[in-house]
Amino acid sequence: MLDRKEYPMRINRYLAKQGVVSRREADKLIMAGKIKLNGQVAVLGDQINENDQVTVDRQTLQQKEAGYVYLALNKPIGIVTNPEKGQKSIADIVRYKTPLTPIGRLDKESHGLIILTNDTRITGRLLESDNANEHEKEYRVTVDKKLTPMFQKAITSGLKLEDFTRRNFSGKKNLGGFTAKPCQLTKISPTEFFLIITEGKRHQIRRMCAALGYQVEDLERVRIMNINLAGLKDGQVREIAGTERANFLRQLGL
């Protein structure tokens, strides 16, 4: 439910916030006369108030939903989700008849689960980190020395991270400091553990470990919400369908 303080808002933003379609798709439907506001055909720029009634042509929505694709990819090390000059991207290893976008990212040195889709509705819902809309992401982490009780307590209790500067092709990029949300750790071996977080700041797990004097030797994402790698080999993809897809979308409020 939207906060009443957000009203009035543009009709395309309203539809995107409600998870119906993206803003761009909403504009297309408005121009095609497929959306009504209080019983009248809506026009671009219409403002929505809290008690207004917005309806979208049901057949149009069914056609759009039938065309949505969701894939699980096991991203190999060396592949990037947001390529810069000279880097190899997901588009280089995944060929699909419909253009798909990776939701979230894994850095070049990390590997594991990435969700690819043409459903623009889920981006904000999956990546939001506010308390009302948290979604678990689970990683298998290997570090360079044995875990201590102090490390385990510190990394799970809400670790404060300072500013971080990384180098890229365009020079240096500053990543601001923040306090990580509390998370869950399950120890696998003296130097390995599963870590479940509900946010995904850039280089977050590597930064958390580094802040405690540890270096990450391997980082693999094994699960996003109810979607897991399910035996996928490096570079392999599988379709998210059936009950798995239905549960995934239900958890996102769609």
Active-site annotation holds for 163:
no
Q: 146: buried, middle or exposed (CB in 10 Å: 19+, 13-18, 0-12)?
A: exposed
Pairing of strands 184-189, 192-197: antiparallel
Name 53's Cβ contacts closer than 8 Å, sequence gap at least 6: 37, 38, 39
Q: Give residue for tokens 């506010």.
A: 130
Given 27, 57, 92, 107, the catalytic residue: 107
Q: Give residue for tokens 């510190």.
A: 154
Task: Please name the amino acid found at residue 223.
Answer: R
User: What stretch of H or E contains 168?
Assistant: strand 164-168
Name 146's Cβ contacts closer than 8 Å, sequence gap at least 6: 190, 191
Catalogue the active-site residues: 107
